[in-house]
Each structure stands twice: as C-alpha cells, then as structure tokens.
Structure 1
Amino acid sequence: MARSTVHYADNKTNSILKALHNKLRPAGTPVQRVEYIIELLLLRIFEVKVKRDSEFKPLRGLFGNDDNSLVFSDLLALTGDQASVALNKKVFPFYGSILGKARGVYKNKNLPQKVQDQLVLIEEVFSNSSFSNNVKNGNLNEVLGLVSDIDEERLLKTDLLGDAIESALSEQGGTKDVGLYRTPDHIRQMMVVMADPNFIDTILDPACGTGGFLFDAFQYVMEKVGKDNKWPGDKSHKEIKQYLEKYLKHIETEMPSNNVANTFYRIGISGVEYLGMIRKMAAINLYIRGLNPANIEQGDSLELYNPNAEANGKSIVIANPPFGAKLDQPAYPNVWEEYPKTDSTTLFVKLMFNHLKNGGRCAVVVSEGFLTWDSEAAKEMRKLLLEEANLKAIISLPQGLFVSKGGQGAITSILYFEKGEPTKNVWFYKITNDGYSMGVNRKEIAGCQIPEALELFTKYAKHGKIPPKTKNSFIVPADWIKQIDPRLKERIAAETTEQQKIKFNGKREKEVEKLDGQLKNGKITEKEYKEKFWQFDNVVENNIQNEITKRIEKAHSYSFNLQNYKSILSGDQIKKWQAAFKGIKIKNGANIDVRFQELLSADSKTALHILASFNPESALEIDIVREYLSKIEKKDKKMLELEEILKEAQKYPKVPLGELLINLSEERKFIIDDEKVYLEPTIKTKTNEISVSNESKGEGLKVKKRILLKKGDLVVGLLHTQNGSFAICDQEYVSTGTFVPFEINTSEVNPKYLFHNLRTAFENLGVEDATGRENYKVDDILGLQIPLPPLEIQQEIVEKIERYKEVIDGACKILKNSEVDVFKNKTDVEKSNIGQIAGVTKLAGFEYTKHIKMQDQGEIIAVRAQNVKNSGLAFKNLKYISKNISDGLIRSKLFKNEIVMTFIGAGIGECSIIDENNKYHLAPNVAKITIKDETKIDPYYFWYHIKSDFVQNQIREITRTAAQPSLSMGIIRNINVMIPSIEMQKQIVLQVEKEMEVLEKVRELKKQAEERVNKILEEVWGE
C-alpha cells in the first residue's frame, strides 16, 4: 500500500500540524514526533470527552481545584518550564494509572464497559510514553498553544491522527520512519457505501492502519440512522458529499435496540495492524468515536489467522492491504494450505475471503498486477472469486492516487465480491477523475466520477442488473473470463499429442516385441494379441487426453484485465457491424468451441450465418472473426465490409500532446542565488538520458532568470535536438529555457507509453533557425499527436516493449563487457610493425579520377569507408564498378585474405577481411593491407589482432589531438603488432571464433528484439 496524495486537513489544521513537527524537531525523528503530537491531542480529546460525553460525566470529580494542571486546558497558562514539570510529575503519571482512580468516582466502583475499555487505552498510551524524556521545555508552551488552536470539532469528527501522519510523511525521510498506511478519505467512503454496513454486521479490516475504514463504516451506519449530515463531513469532496446526502436520505434504517448496539460495540468493528504505534492510533480513533479500542489487535494478520476459530466469521471485510510487502514468514499454510508461499496481495485477498461468512461482503484495494499475474496462486484466487463468490465489481483507480518511494506509485483497483453464489457478470468501471488534480499536492476539481460509479453500482451492479453503458462502464460475463481461446486449445492438443506419442513410442516398441514373442511362442492367441494392443493404445490415448485436459486447465489465466474481453470496436463500429448482418439468419445455440470448428469447415454462405452469431463486443470472438477473414482467399462483398470495419477499429485515435502534458515553465521560473550550487542539464539524443553538463555556484552563471527542472518531469530540449531530445528528469537542474519541464497527465497516458512513442512523434519536428540549428517552440511540441489507446492497452504495450528492452539492455551489457581480446598480457611474443610483414596501399588519385566510375548496380563492389566494419563488410548503400575497370587496376583490386581499414573519419581504424576474389575493389578513404607471407602470418589472426586494443589504442593515441583524424599509409606501416608462432596464431583464431560465435548469437538476439520493438510501435501508429 502507498500513502495518499490527497491532503484532507483544512489549511489551518495542516499549518498547525506542520508547525508542531517543526517545534518538536529537536525531540526526535518524524515517527517520534507523531507519537508526541498524538499524546498531546489525546490529552485534549480526553478533556473534551469528559466535558461532552454523559458516560464520562462522573470522571469530572477527578479534576477538582486541588488537582489543577491535570487537564489539557490547565497547562496553557503555564510557562514552558512549569508545563514540563506538570506533565512529567503530574499529568503523565496520573493518566498512566487512571483506571484505579476512576473506579473511585463511580458508584460501587463499577465502571461502564465502554468507559473501562477506553481508560485501558489511556493508561496504555501514557504509561509507555517517552515524551518527558525527549521533549524539552524550551518551546513547550508554544507547542501546547498550537494543539489548543485546533478546532474542537476537528478533534472528534475527522482522522486528525491520520493527518498528523501525513504531516510526517511530507517530510524528507518521514516515509521511511513511519511507513505507508493511509487510504484517501474519498476512496474509503466509496468502498464503505459499496459494502453498506449495518448494526448487525461484524466488520473487519485485517490491515487497518489508523482505522480509517473502520470509523468510516461506523459513521456511515450512524448516518443511516441519524441523517444529521455528519458523514462524510465538511472536508469531503463537494460532489461526493452532495451525492451521499441524497443517497442516504432515501435509506430507511431503524435505531438499534440496546442489545444490538452493545453487540455492535463489543464485536461489530475490529481490525489488525502490524505496527504498534499505528495500532495505538487506530485504537485512539475508535476511542474518539466511542467504539471499543480493544478490538484493534497488533500483529501480522496472516500469521494471527486461526481457521478453526475465525473462518466464515465476518459479514464485511474491507481493507487496503499492503501489496508488495515483505512477508514475515516464508509460508502461511493457515491462510492457504495449497499456496502458502505466494505473494502478499494474493494471500490477503484469500485471508479476507476466508474470514467472510456465506453472503458476506468484501471491498478490497488490490494492485493492478493481481488482476493479471500468471502465478498459479493468483490464477487460482481469481478462479475462486468467480466460482465461490459473486465478483460484482472491479473499479480501476487513477495511478496518481498513491505515491511511493519510486514516485508515481502503483496502479490500483477495487474488487467487490460477496461470498457464496458464483459470479454471473463482472461490472468493470474506470475512474480517471477521482475529483482531485494530478500531482503530489492534489486539489479538488470538478467532474468527480465517484458519484456516477456509486450510482451505477448501488442501482444496478450490486443487484445483478446490467448498468447502462457509459464511456467508463462495461459488463463482462463470467463465462468470458472462464473460457479459453479455442485456437489455443487446438494448439495445446496438437503439441501435447505429438509430445506424448514420442514419449510412448519407445514403450510401444517394447510392447510389440513382447507380444510378438508371446504370439510366436503360442502363449497368446491372435485375438488376444490384437486385444492387448487395443488396450495399450487405449491407455495411451486416455493418458494423452488427460494430459491435454490438464494443460488446457493450466492455460486458463482467469484474467481480470478488461482489455482481454472488451473488443476493439467502438460503439459506432459495433452498430455498423450489426447493420452488416441485417437480414442474415444467426446460427446460434452452440458454444464458442463448436462455432469455431464449424467456421473452419463452412462454405462462405454458411460462414456468414456463423459469423453473425459472434458477439462484436467480445474481444475473443471478434479476434477469431478477424483471423478467419484474414486467411480466406475469396471474400464476398459482405466479408469485405466486415474486414473494413475491423481495419478501421485497429487504428487508435491520435491525441495532441497538449492534452497529455502540462507546461510547467511559468510556475518554475526563479532567480539564481549567487551562493547556491546549481546543476545544468544536457540530454543525449540517442539514449534519451539526462545528465549534468555543468555544476556551478550561482555567481558563475551569467543568465540569472532560470527554470527549475524537478525529478520526474518530462524534459524536452528546444535547441540542438536533431531527432528530438527528451528525457525523464532524474534530479533537480536549472535551465535557461532551452529545456522545458512538463507534467504528464497520468490519468490519460502511461508515462512509459508516452516515452516510447515520443521519438516517432518528434520526427515531425524540424524547424530551423537562422543559424541552422533546430529550434522548437513549445506550441509546436504540444501540437504533435500520438496514438492513444485505453490505459489498459497502453500498459500491455509498455509491458511488451519493456520485455524486449530487457533483452536489448542485457545484450548490450554482454557485448560491452565481452570484447574479444586474447592479446592482453602477451608480453612474451615477438613484436614487429605492419610495414615489415604486409604491404599497405590506398586507391591512387589518378585511379579514382580517370578510371573509377561509381554505379548503383554492377559486378564489382566498391568498398567504401561506410562498408568497413569490425564485424565484417556491411552490405548497405553499395556502389559498384565494372569488372573490366577492376581487372585493369590490379594495384587497387581486392583479393581474398586482404584486410581493408578505414583511415579517415568517424570510423577510423575499423577493418574487415576480404572473403573471396573477383568481388571487391578499393574505394576512397580505405587502405588495403596485403600479408607478404601467409605461411608465417594467418590472415584471420592478423585481422583479429588489428581490431584488438593493442593496435586500436595506438591508433587512438596517434589521432587523439587531430581536428580531423586520419592515418597516412606510412603511419599505418609503423603501427606495432605482435607476431607469435603460426601454431599459436591458429589457436588464437580458433579461440576468437568460438567466442565470436557466442557474441554473434547475442547480437542477433539484440537485433531481433529491436525489430520487435519497432514492429510494436509501427502497429501502434498504424503503419
């Protein structure tokens, strides 16, 4: 789980909490400061409860005039020193043993159960406090004053303790100390309405944090009875508040009897929290609302679960469990005997399922990965939710809802299911606007979709009805999720049959040999012989069918990814599709497997009747139709019409970048401080990586007006951009305006999807300024368009590309770190220079000007610098000369085993070996090296040696200071080389070639992965 990005505290309260953290900074870490703030808040809350709550009225007798300074308000008149003494000597010791004192002011010394439960909590908090040890008296009166300034209503009606945590989390390092606990209020409110708790319910949150779900559930129950508009409260989103006021007004709920109310207090609401400090906060939150704080247990809820005592015990389980969390134990067989070692998300969903009684309701936040994970446990859990529960809703939440250490945080969804009846339909709903702006400090905005989501759920989905179709709403029959592609079944059946027959062939041969012997010896008759063969083949066939069944079942993913089931056809295209079949009788009544088989063998007329039965809203069925149409050679007019609709659907709408990016330049402008150190950026166009180009104090920067670039920004360069320079900012930089920061609207576009498609989009830029440099304007960039599929498809595309990128990156690392150089440390071999063992020459000027005429076609390849590569000759952009000219210029003609080397330009020093005669001729900028005696120098050894660091380092040193690197023939002749014995040369060649073979496979793998990435992007762009 991650922390909320929505800060609900009003500005005044938020400022007070931040000021408290600042004042208490000398007292310890953010987590310690949270504890101290909570203890002071609890003192004040207790005073308010004694003043307001009739059950606490007798406690007023504890605070007479003789015992002043025992309630919070008495401390306000004291100096810091006096307050410190009072807290240390009187207040904390008093509350640390208040239970015994309280019994003295109640009749017969019998405390009401609720008062006793809450005083137990008070004792626990103050008897274990370290406040007096760490909080010094210097500014204590200011701290007390700030606590006093918090509005009394805020103390009792909101999650003020959660706000205190958020205040700590906002500080650097706070996240590490406190942990990540909180679900935003508006999401909790939505989930509580979905679960619809009552006084007769038993409600559990097995990962309760500060208890937000639990006290929201309680306040929802109270609001249904009281209808006093106290929930969801004034700080709730305006549109959600308006909707809930209207919704709750029409719910009729009677006030519970004393017996029901007492039962609800004792066991109605409970939770488990892993961390002690957070459990304490949850208990205080229950105490504030008059609930039983003892119902919050500390520990690992997975470990604590006892199936014998707790299975099927709760009517509502509601939670946002810690997805991706590290587990305390290697296995939890008490939660799931079959899959005890699976991931935390799956285990928590199973735990919640286990806790539910038949008919019980569950609303749970899960990471998006749970919807599609391929692990056996995740697949089995999804199957369980379909077959042993009624999975009524999957609501996708915007990515910006939570933040994590990585920044943006996980993509999440809400699952709602009821245990018992199997699922018929799953309602999918996508929230892109949850009522708050994007970014870390989110502000309330109009157009919140939560009211619509709740309206569709409470009126339709919850009652098994089909909601009206909207842009964000879609119903998927459970049968679609449970079915498997018949084409995959066919493939599994064919592959399994072949594998199993190979497996049994050997056994059958032995059986034949055995039965032949028995028949020959008269031990069995001909009839028995045939019968035994039939039995053997029948057993084999049964084994094959069983194995096919097992593999098909294993191939079921039970994915909850909507895009697996929702076809690519838009609403208008579905109407066109249906109109195309007007007047054609539908051949129906069979499942998808039967219809698929019929389609394969049908003539074109029958095929149309079968195609008419395929549902255009189903992704699987429409894909089967697409594949069928692509394979048949003769298509009638109707089939061509269907094909056109499908082609139209495969193109994603293109959206300008202005709808996906927010220009941050204006709000990030600032003036350089001469005393501070700043980093200036540069971006590598080839790799789209940002790095430091200059580090300087402000006084050394001439341009003082700058733009601040922050970590996570999309940064686009406006100058020297070639094919477009852009990168995701990795730290803070300052720009003169040549680099522009943008915020990515993650509710519309996946940042990685955008990143992968920007290079293609930027190819449409190319405006040149007066100096010949590319100079982009921001409006030009924002006007560019990219294809924009739904976010789910964007994620799928990203995952595909990322898989291939991993292959590419891995291959690059191998190639970078595995340069074949067997010539290192060869200090004991004879050394010479190239001129002593080989002739070196280049194309003469007169040869080129008088005789060489380059052509696009011909017989002899002219080897130019761009054709010479260390991996061998590159056959791209070839030029040719005639054979007659080549034969007439023997001096520059190339022969087998000669080596060619580039002697000028960017590729200087690269070399290749000539592999055959009468095929190549020397061209400008390339030297040829001819070995004088091949009985002493192996040509391939010499080629590998020239490519080695031993030779290449000499070339780099020679050309290091040259503005235009070049090598004369004389310099090449003077380059030193190592000449071992011919036998060792041949051993080196074998060793190099063996290693080169492995590297060649890596290069091919990299090439294939790059081609696949390009293919994916071409398909996205409809090319």
Structure 2
Amino acid sequence: MLTGPIRNDIDKLWEKFWTGGITNPLTVIEQISYLMFARMLDMQEEAEERKANRTGKAFVRLFPDTKEGQLLRWKNFKNLSGKDLHKHLKNEVYPYFSKLGQVADIDQVGEDTPVKAMGHISDYMEDADLEIKNESVLVAALEMVDSLPLNQSDVKGDIYEYLLSKLTTAGINGQFRTPRHIIDAMIEIIDPQPWDTICDPSCGTAGFLARTMEYLNRKHTSPENIWTDEEGNQHYPGDLLENYREHISDDMFWGFDFDTTMLRVSSMNMMLHGVNGSNILYQDTLNKSIRENFPQQEENFFDVILANPPFKGSLDETNTNPELLSMVKTKKTELLFVAHILRSLKLGGRAAVIVPDGVLFGSSKAHQQLRQELIENNQLEGIISLPSGVFKPYAGVSTAILLFTKGGTTERVWFYDLQADGLSLDDKRTPLKGEGTNDLPDAISKWKAYRQLVESNFDFSQFGDDAQGCANPENAGAYFQDKTQKAFVVDAADIASNKYDLSINRYKEVVYEEEVYEDPKVILGKLMALEKDIMADLKELEGML
C-alpha cells in the first residue's frame, strides 16, 4: 500500500500531463516508465560500484566509463534545464536503452551481471520515444520520479500498480484490465508455490504475474520481518523465499503478448515487483509460429496458468496453431485460448481462466467439444459465475472463472454464484460496504472447505436428496449438495446428460416464496376510502378560495 503523499504526488503529476496535452493514460504510464527505468539503471550501477569498492573486483558496467557514457546516468542528467534535458533524453538516453546488452567488456558478461539482470526489457525499449513536449511537465515528471522510494522493493511495485489503476478510466487498445481484487481471488484459489512455473498467455500489463509475486511475498514472510509504515500499511519482504530467488528471477514467470506497448509496461511492472528476469515475450500464443519460437513452452510446460484472455473476434485458420484446431475446430478466440492453456499445462498443472458465459453454454459443436474435453479428459474443478458488471466501464458481458487441472477425469464440478464483488456494478464501480456487498471472501472460504473434503476422499453421494434444504455450512458435505446455496456441487454425469452445459442457472435451484395478497374487495374498499378523503380535502380547499 502507498502512503498518501506518494499518491498525491502521482495525482498531481497526472494532472500536469493532462494540462500539458498528454491525455492518453497509457502514454502517461509509458513516459513515467521510461524515467523510472532510467533511474533504476543508475541505482543498479551505483550498487555494483559500491560492491566493487568493497571487494576490489571489477564489474560489467551498464554505462560506458567515458564522459559521454556517464552522462547517460540519472544522477548526471537529472539537473539539466528543461530544454537541454529534453534534447539529451530524446537523442542520447532513450536510444541507449536498446543497446544495454552491447557492452564494451563483453567477455566479462557472466551469469550474474546487471546486463543479464535487465532480462528482456531492453528488447522492448528499442522504440522508446520522448513524447513529453512541454518542458515544465518533463522537469516535474523527473522531480517526481527522483523522489519516489524506488529502493524499497515492495513499495515500488505498489507505485506501478497505482499508476496502472489509472487505466480503469480508459480501454487499452480494445482490451480491458482485469480488476485487481478478482486477480487476487483467483491467485488465492490456485495458491501458487515458489517452485511453480507460472504463465499468462495474454499478459497485458502482467497483472496476474505481478500480483502472484505479491502473494508469494505475503505467504513467505516471517512474522518478525513484516513492517508497518506510518499509515498502518503492512509490508512483506518475502524473506523466506531466499532459496527460490534464482528460480523466481529467471524461470518462474512467463508472459506472452503481441502488443509491444503492453510488453514494455508488463516488463517494467515485473521489474518493479523485484523480478528482473521475467520472461515477458513477444508472441501471439494462438499463432502457429509459437511452435517454432517457443516449442518447449507450447506443450506440457507450465505448473500454473492464470489468464483473462481476449474473447472478441475470430482468427484466420491458416495462421492458427493446428494443434489447437485438432482439439477444437473453431475460429473463436475464447475457445482456442482454453485449448491452448490445456495444451501448455503440465500433467497435473492447474489453471484459473476468465471466460465469457458463452463458453459455458454455447450450443455449437466446438463449444460442446471443448466442454467435453474439460470434463472427460481433465479435471474441471470449479466454476465461479461473476456478475455482469465486473468489467465495467469497458464491457457489461457476463463472465465466469474456470478452475481446472490437466489430466484425469471429472467426477463433480463445484459451482459458486458470485453476485457481488465489493464494488457497484455500474460504470462508476465505487466501493461498497456492509453485509452482502462482497461475496469474494465467502467464495474463497467455501472453495477451501470443498477442497479439504475432496483431498480427504469425502463421499459426496452419501447425502443424496436428503440434504436438500440443509443450510448449515458446518455440515459441509450436505451443504454442497444443497443447490439452493451460493456454493454447490454437480455430478459430472448430470452435466454430460445436459450436453456438457456448464451454466450455473442450469443446475441452481431457486426457492420461490409465496406472495400473499389481500382480497380484491378489501383493496377496492381501501381505494374508495382514499378517494373519499381526497375529495373531502379538495372541498375544504375550495372553501378557502
């Protein structure tokens, strides 16, 4: 969590960008990202210099040890005047971003160097451009970035998350940002471990990956190392993850996208969350080129996949990965993405994926084929039905979260009817308080209770129809058999007999309460008495005139 002053500084700078003529939120974030990247490069160079002074060992410099090279460092250009600063950034600093791997002492580059630590981010900085034309806005942006506590690993991640939250007021190239509380709920349900390999096949701003890193830090921080800032926000350094640092930095996180702007933003997001070597890569995951570019990652590779893939439009079959078309013959991206996720998971790998409701009940052969594949050849663990306003103001489409594990076969499916997520379901999406305004904590709690029963080989069939109407959550087995509740289970055989329909309304039972009305003659008598009172009042008013 950020302190108030930092949020205020970011808000003020945002207003300066707006008044300076830059009104696209994504452009603002890009421009701030470039400046943050420049400062972090200099911070990393300073850390290496201090280490070299202590140890007496040489190191591979990010910046050439020449007058011109040293002028590329943040500390040496941050005090330039507006005009000189603009020229220097545009002509010298930003072009250098794309040359980070081209160091003079190339023979010194080892496995653990600052050059290697940059990961893939320099690949996406090649076309970085300074779009801040107003010199006073540029100076203000530089001063704000210079004041940010980027030396605090967990805080700098929060800073970027706050910047990305500004995108809620605008669509991102036709895409829409997944609400962070929905991401957090999906991550808690899947419960990633520090040894897992995790992927988002349409990563966007890398929200799923960055929040997974935050989740791991929270879960793997010893109590004595949790610290609280002046506003009461708790911070988790993740000290118990030390044995997994190399895996986390280089091999844990994989994100694919074919929008270079998104790749820049997502690489920066991961870097600011302490993962410099995340594999944020340019690739259309549904395109057949993935088999050539990433043959290893394309099949049986990932332990966990978290995704909210785009679900509008259709693809040209000639460019689509033929392996996916053999699983589900369709042009619809929402079906192809689920097929790709199934294919790229390891046996036993698990996924949480947001899909439009059409995937659950679509009647086409392809829809039924995919649902049958999930039920019969994999373990479809659960479906959380989301309210239709979750993605407003971008779209009002109804969606659901699919929870599945690759391999095996499905015995039953756990459903949850999520009707409120803690925010209003209109375009404003304002936070709500009070009972019944947020079902997410209950959904997570019920899921964990259900999984405990499954892992203890609980026999759900022993209750049968006698359990109907049982609203006692303590008796969890009976509770999940009661289809009038928000959480309930359905046997796979019942789903198969309904053409593998997975829509929650197909199985949820609604209890209707009988409405009692007064006799029509009584109602008519009341209306006549009311009419009589009205006429009397009118007569009295007439007498006053």
TM-score class, shorter-chain normalisation, is 0.7 to 0.9
Q: Residues 288 and 165 of structure 1: is their aligned pair in 2 closer, same or farther, counting only changes over 3 Å?
A: closer
1:203 lines up with 2:198 in the alignment: yes
Counterpart of 1:473 (choices 454, 464, 487) is: 487
How far apart, in 1, do the equivalents of 2:284 and 2:209 lie?
Answer: 18
1:266 lines up with 2:256 in the alignment: no
1:693-733 residue CA offsets vs partner (Å, 9 max, x unmatched): xxxxxxxxxxxxxxxxxxxxxxxxxxxxxxxxxxxxxxxxx
How far apart, in 2, do the equivalents of 1:769 and 1:37 lie?
Answer: 70
Deviation of the 1:206 alpha carbon: 0.6
Q: CA RMSD in A?
A: 4.2
Partner of 1:459: 449
Q: Is the 2:94–2:129 contact (alpha carbons within 8 Å) kept by the matching residues of 1?
A: no
How far apart, in 1, do the equivalents of 2:276 and 2:79 lie?
Answer: 34
1:661-711 residue CA offsets vs partner (Å, 9 max, x unmatched): xxxxxxxxxxxxxxxxxxxxxxxxxxxxxxxxxxxxxxxxxxxxxxxxxxx
Partner of 2:133: 135
How far apart, in 1, do the equivalents of 2:434 and 2:6 lie?
Answer: 19
1:588-610 residue CA offsets vs partner (Å, 9 max, x unmatched): xxxxxxxxxxxxxxxxxxxxxxx
Deviation of the 1:320 alpha carbon: 0.8
1:319 lines up with 2:317 in the alignment: no
Partner of 1:116: 115
1:441-476 residue CA offsets vs partner (Å, 9 max, x unmatched): 422635533222222222323652567338421122
TM-score, normalised by the number of residues in structure 2: 0.74
Partner of 2:521: none
How far apart, in 2, do the equivalents of 1:202 and 1:460 lie?
Answer: 25
Counterpart of 1:84 (choices 75, 83, 86) is: 86
How far apart, in 1, do the equivalents of 2:271 and 2:104 lie?
Answer: 17
Partner of 1:383: 372
User: Counterpart of 1:194 in 2: which secondary structure?
Assistant: helix
Amino acid in the other structure paired with 1:130 = D
Q: Is the 2:387–2:398 contact (alpha carbons within 8 Å) kept by the matching residues of 1?
A: yes
1:15 lines up with 2:11 in the alignment: yes
Partner of 1:296: 280
Q: How does 1:215-364 map to 2 (within 5 A)?
A: 215-227=210-222, 257=243, 261-291=245-275, 293=277, 295-303=279-287, 304-306=289-291, 309=296, 310-327=298-315, 329=317, 332-337=321-326, 339-364=328-353
Q: Is the 2:62–2:100 contact (alpha carbons within 8 Å) kept by the matching residues of 1?
A: no
How far apart, in 2, do the equivalents of 1:190 and 1:85 lie?
Answer: 46
User: Counterpart of 2:286 in 1: which secondary structure?
Assistant: helix
How far apart, in 1, do the equivalents of 2:161 and 2:217 lie?
Answer: 21
How far apart, in 2, do the equivalents of 1:197 and 1:55 lie?
Answer: 36
1:369 lines up with 2:358 in the alignment: yes
Q: Residues 351 and 126 of structure 1: is their aligned pair in 2 closer, same or farther, counting only changes over 3 Å?
A: closer
1:424-455 residue CA offsets vs partner (Å, 9 max, x unmatched): 22111122232334432422635533222222
Q: Residues 225 and 375 of structure 1: is their aligned pair in 2 closer, same or farther, counting only changes over 3 Å?
A: same
How far apart, in 1, do the equivalents of 2:434 and 2:449 lie?
Answer: 23
How far apart, in 2, do the equivalents of 1:382 and 1:9 lie?
Answer: 50
Q: Is the 1:392–1:461 contact (alpha carbons within 8 Å) kept by the matching residues of 2?
A: no
Amino acid in the other structure paired with 2:445 = E
Partner of 2:417: 430
Deviation of the 1:35 alpha carbon: 2.5
Q: Is the 1:305–1:334 contact (alpha carbons within 8 Å) kept by the matching residues of 2?
A: no
1:567 lines up with 2:509 in the alignment: yes
Deviation of the 1:768 alpha carbon: 13
How far apart, in 2, do the equivalents of 1:768 and 1:301 lie?
Answer: 74
How far apart, in 1, do the equivalents of 2:516 and 2:364 lie?
Answer: 34
How far apart, in 1, do the equivalents of 2:90 and 2:76 lie?
Answer: 15
Q: Residues 127 and 224 of structure 1: is their aligned pair in 2 closer, same or farther, counting only changes over 3 Å?
A: same
Q: Is the 1:392–1:423 contact (alpha carbons within 8 Å) kept by the matching residues of 2?
A: yes
Counterpart of 1:450 (choices 435, 440, 452) is: 440
Q: Is the 1:480–1:565 contact (alpha carbons within 8 Å) kept by the matching residues of 2?
A: no
Partner of 1:167: 166
Q: Residues 267 and 87 of structure 1: is their aligned pair in 2 closer, same or farther, counting only changes over 3 Å?
A: same
Deviation of the 1:122 alpha carbon: 5.3
User: Counterpart of 2:444 in 1: which secondary structure?
Assistant: helix
Deviation of the 1:214 alpha carbon: 1.5
Q: Residues 222 and 402 of structure 1: is their aligned pair in 2 closer, same or farther, counting only changes over 3 Å?
A: same
Partner of 1:675: none
User: Counterpart of 1:301 in 2: which secondary structure?
Assistant: coil
Amino acid in the other structure paired with 2:410 = T
Deviation of the 1:377 alpha carbon: 1.2
Q: Is the 2:44–2:114 contact (alpha carbons within 8 Å) kept by the matching residues of 1?
A: no
How many residue pairs end up in the alignment?
477
Q: Is the 2:13–2:140 contact (alpha carbons within 8 Å) kept by the matching residues of 1?
A: no
Q: Is the 1:314–1:356 contact (alpha carbons within 8 Å) kept by the matching residues of 2?
A: yes
Amino acid in the other structure paired with 1:409 = G
Counterpart of 2:207 (choices 202, 205, 212) is: 212
Counterpart of 1:397 (choices 386, 389, 397) is: 386
Partner of 1:146: 144
How far apart, in 2, do the equivalents of 1:457 and 1:653 lie?
Answer: 38
Identity among equivalent positions (%) equals 24
1:178 lines up with 2:173 in the alignment: yes
Amino acid in the other structure paired with 1:301 = T
Deviation of the 1:323 alpha carbon: 1.6
Higher relative contact order (CA 8 A, sep 6+): 2
Q: Is the 1:21–1:168 contact (alpha carbons within 8 Å) kept by the matching residues of 2?
A: no
User: Counterpart of 2:325 in 1: which secondary structure?
Assistant: coil
Q: Could you tell me which runs of 5 or more consecutive residues in structure 1 were left unpaired when the two chains were aligned.
A: 1-7, 484-555, 570-648, 655-765, 772-1023
Deviation of the 1:335 alpha carbon: 1.0
Deviation of the 1:125 alpha carbon: 4.6
User: Counterpart of 1:158 in 2: which secondary structure?
Assistant: helix
Q: Is the 1:426–1:477 contact (alpha carbons within 8 Å) kept by the matching residues of 2?
A: yes
Q: Is the 1:49–1:56 contact (alpha carbons within 8 Å) kept by the matching residues of 2?
A: no
Q: Residues 420 and 119 of structure 1: is their aligned pair in 2 closer, same or farther, counting only changes over 3 Å?
A: closer
Partner of 1:417: 404
Deviation of the 1:156 alpha carbon: 5.1
Counterpart of 1:44 (choices 36, 39, 43) is: 39
Q: Is the 1:393–1:461 contact (alpha carbons within 8 Å) kept by the matching residues of 2?
A: no
Deviation of the 1:291 alpha carbon: 3.0
User: Counterpart of 1:399 in 2: which secondary structure?
Assistant: coil
Deviation of the 1:43 alpha carbon: 1.8
Amino acid in the other structure paired with 1:457 = W
How far apart, in 1, do the equivalents of 2:250 and 2:41 lie?
Answer: 21
Deviation of the 1:361 alpha carbon: 0.6
Partner of 1:724: none
How far apart, in 2, do the equivalents of 1:411 and 1:118 lie?
Answer: 41
Q: Is the 1:17–1:164 contact (alpha carbons within 8 Å) kept by the matching residues of 2?
A: no
Q: Residues 255 and 78 of structure 1: is their aligned pair in 2 closer, same or farther, counting only changes over 3 Å?
A: closer
How far apart, in 2, do the equivalents of 1:336 and 1:767 lie?
Answer: 71
Amino acid in the other structure paired with 1:418 = T
Q: Is the 1:332–1:340 contact (alpha carbons within 8 Å) kept by the matching residues of 2?
A: no
1:859-895 residue CA offsets vs partner (Å, 9 max, x unmatched): xxxxxxxxxxxxxxxxxxxxxxxxxxxxxxxxxxxxx
Partner of 1:928: none
Q: Residues 338 and 123 of structure 1: is their aligned pair in 2 closer, same or farther, counting only changes over 3 Å?
A: closer
Q: Could you tell me which runs of 5 or more consecutive residues in structure 2 were left unpaired when the two chains were aligned.
A: 53-58, 461-472, 518-529, 536-545
Q: Residues 150 and 386 of structure 1: is their aligned pair in 2 closer, same or farther, counting only changes over 3 Å?
A: same
Q: How does 1:606-645 map to 2 (within 5 A)?
A: none
Amino acid in the other structure paired with 1:148 = D
TM-score, normalised by the number of residues in structure 1: 0.42
Q: How does 1:720-869 map to 2 (within 5 A)?
A: none
User: Counterpart of 1:429 in 2: which secondary structure?
Assistant: strand
Q: Is the 1:305–1:335 contact (alpha carbons within 8 Å) kept by the matching residues of 2?
A: no
How far apart, in 1, do the equivalents of 2:531 and 2:61 lie?
Answer: 79
Deviation of the 1:41 alpha carbon: 2.3
Counterpart of 2:189 (choices 183, 194, 199) is: 194
User: Counterpart of 2:211 in 1: which secondary structure?
Assistant: helix
